[in-house]
Amino acid sequence: MHGSATFYIGPLFVLVAAGCVGLIVFVVALALRWNRVRQNQLAQFAASNGWPYSERLPHGRPPAIDIRRRVYATQAAEDFLQRFGGCPLFNSGSWRDVQNIMEGRKGNRNWVVFDYSFWREHRQAEAERVEATCVVLDMPKEMPAFSVEPRLPFIGALMEWYDSSDLVDTGDAEFDKLFITRSIDPARARGSLGPAVRTYLKGLCHGSKRYYRQLHVERNMVIVSETCAPAKHLEAMMEIAAGVASSLESVRRTT
């Protein structure tokens, strides 16, 4: 006869399980505390510039689901992101959300700063959560749309191979070795990326405050983004956006 199996849960198993649960609780609590501290610092940064700060958009929590478009976002988030035109950073992925919003004027320019998150899709499945802190600066005139991102070690060639349809060859071998540039209109973007812009961006590679992951120029805006940037990086990100805008405007004046 075959008797039923009996499983014995010993003290060691209970100790290990309790340790795992305790570790998970500790990590979650640490993440929540870090997020709260960061929010307080962002609010302080906004106050120091005399800008209003909002942790969330009005009625911004419940997602609106559109199965056909695979876009899951609040209407408030959709309306907010439409302000930035067709910028590819805000026009892809699902479960889009906007938090920690502040905006105002500084240095005679209009600024918007916010956190943006979404799930990047791969083959119709959510594959990666992206969280970006975005600094947006208005420019007085429109420019051709393009994006620039530092070429990451080892995977730069893979990034180009994965999507080579909109790559821009600036004609500056040193610049193209350091950066990946994309545009839906490569010829016009190449004209905007003059020596002043390229020199400024190359100079950031050797500085101690290169706080950006991507740079987008969209219509009359410069958008600098970094992955979940701490509040202490925002000032440097604003300096980068202003430096790029000034370089672009000098190109426009000389053409």
Q: What is the pLDDT of residues 12-68, one digit of tens each?
A: 666 776 777 776 765 666 555 667 888 899 999 999 999 999 998 876 555 555 555
Residue 235: CA atoms inside 13 Å, Cβ hemisphere, count?
A: 6
Give the pLDDT confidence score for residue 219 in this predicted structure: 83
Give the pLDDT confidence score for residue 123 in this predicted structure: 54
Give the pLDDT confidence score for residue 114 in this predicted structure: 96
Q: Which residues of the chain have pLDDT under 50?
A: 1
Provide the token pair at 213: 């992951």
Question: Residues 114, 99: contact at Cβ < 8 Å?
Answer: yes
Q: What is the DSSP letter of 208?
A: S
Q: Is 225 exposed, middle or buried (0-12, 13-18, 19+ CB in 10 A)?
A: buried
Give the pLDDT confidence score for residue 103 in this predicted structure: 95
Give the pLDDT confidence score for residue 1 in this predicted structure: 47
159's CB contacts (< 8 A; 6+ apart) are 151, 152, 180
Transcribe 92-159 into DSSP letters.
S-EEEEEEEEEEEEETTEEEEEEEEEEEEESSSSEEEEEEEEEEEEEEEEEEEEEEEEEPPTTTHHHH
Q: What is residue 255's three-state secondary structure?
A: coil
Q: What is residue 165's three-state secondary structure?
A: coil
Q: Is 179 exposed, middle or buried (0-12, 13-18, 19+ CB in 10 A)?
A: buried
